[in-house]
Homo-oligomer: A and B are copies of this chain.
Amino acid sequence: MSITHTAPRFTSTLTSQCQSCSLSALCLPIALADEDINRLDQIIERKKPLKKGEVLFRQGQSFDSVYAVRTGTLKTFNITSSGEEQITGFYCPSELLGLSGIDGNVYPVSAKALETTTVCEIPFSHLEDLSAQIPSLKHQIFKVMSRKISDDQQMMVLLGKKNADEKVASFLLNLSNRFKKRGYSATSFRLSMSRGEIGNYLGLAVETVSRVITRFQKNEMIEVDGKEIAIVGLTEMQKLVGVASDCDKIKNI
């Protein structure tokens, strides 16, 4: 696999790419000294863009690197014993994927681009070495993994306890929060995954996802135009999911 840098590699001797990258505040939300950022920058490879449907890594393949999404979206998935795909996550810009490969030295899932996507590849052995020299970097890695664990546990609650409406609403709010965090609109965005992929991820049939979305539209919680979504009843939606202050538990929708 050949690596094509999206920008001349040598520029990082002057200004590191990480430093000028608009995502660094999310990717590195720690106060790394300039020289440390440069050291991190040195080990990162910018890969050439993946086209929609291309695979970043494959379940069972040996684990070498974690990846930070720069633009686009990916999904991770398993192939179950019965041959169907089971989606385990979607990854938006600034998010890290591949961490589940550390144990076992093999990726336990495959990762595929949902649209044209660029990623930074971070060879894990280098990252581990570097984390030994930069304690705050090590702490940051712990944090990212810890966060992933508690997020996944939230997801388990969602899958186990919530009904179709709550699942879809949680999904939309989760995306909304992720977009907001990276500076995009929290109320108006484009779903890069199909209804089928949403259903697969949420443990729902396509038809159910479609029906729920239609219902939300009729209730004027969202406006939909194909893959474009606008959340117009944010508070109402939060109430549905149960995020809201515990006081208004009694109120109806």
Contact = CB atoms under 8 A, between A and B. Distances in A.
Interface of A: 60, 78, 80-83, 86, 88-89, 99-104, 106, 108-109, 128, 131-132, 135, 138-139, 141-150, 152-153, 155-157, 159-161, 201-203, 242-246, 249-251
Given A82-B249, A132-B135, 20 more contacts: A60-B250, A80-B157, A80-B242, A80-B243, A81-B242, A81-B249, A88-B153, A99-B149, A103-B144, A103-B146, A104-B250, A108-B150, A108-B153, A108-B250, A128-B142, A142-B145, A145-B146, A152-B153, A155-B156, A156-B159
25 contacts: A78-B153, A80-B243, A80-B246, A81-B243, A81-B244, A81-B246, A86-B160, A99-B145, A99-B146, A100-B146, A102-B143, A103-B142, A104-B150, A108-B150, A128-B135, A128-B138, A132-B132, A132-B138, A141-B142, A145-B149, A148-B149, A149-B149, A159-B160, A160-B202, A161-B203
Q: Helix, strand, loop or mixed for chain A's interface?
A: helix
Given A138-B128, A152-B149, A245-B81, A106 B159 contact: no
Nearest to A63: B146
A152 B128 CA distance: 23
Looking at A83, A148, A153, which has the most chain B CB atoms within 10 Å of its CB? Answer: A153
Nearest to A201: B160
A131 to B, nearest CB: 7
Looking at A103, A147, A243, which has the most chain B CB atoms within 10 Å of its CB? Answer: A103
